[in-house]
Amino acid sequence: MKSFLVLTGVAMFLTGCGHSMMRGTVAMKTGKDEAHICLGDNAVKGGDKVAFFENNCISTGSGDSERGGGGREIECNLLKIGEGTVSKTLNSHYSLVKTDGSFSFEEGTMVERVRK
């Protein structure tokens, strides 16, 4: 029951602010410090900053397998791994982003526009 309430709360939060926190992904890594990102319909323009995130999941306990918990509990958080700048938009959904090369990312890494 507790999991259901948590999931319901998260779903309400995400649908309530879906447009103010648009997330996308790295569609194609073109170099150590460069990528094509997909971030929605005209969500960014040249010069905009974007943040790169990865999932950080850890086991938080043994859980209660008798209640269908699967035997353990997992807690996941988004971990910001770095930032980049939009060099240019390629079309309405894709943009070229350049980073400083100080962090590693791969195709599928989450990206979010940095709000000023």
Three-state SS string across the chain, please? CHHHHHHHHHHHHHHHCCCCCCEEEEEEEEECCEEEEECCCCCCCCCCEEEEEEEEEEEEECCCHHHCCCCCEEEEEEEEEEEEEEEEECCCCEEEEEECCCCCCCCCCEEEECCC
pLDDT over 70 for what percent of the chain? 73
pLDDT of residue 17: 36
Higher pLDDT, 55 or 65: 55
Looking at the predicted structure, is the pLDDT value of residue 7 above 70? Answer: no
User: What is the tens place of the pLDDT at every residue in 24-50?
Assistant: 999 999 999 999 999 988 899 999 999
pLDDT above 70: residue 60: yes
Higher-pLDDT residue of 64 and 73 is 73
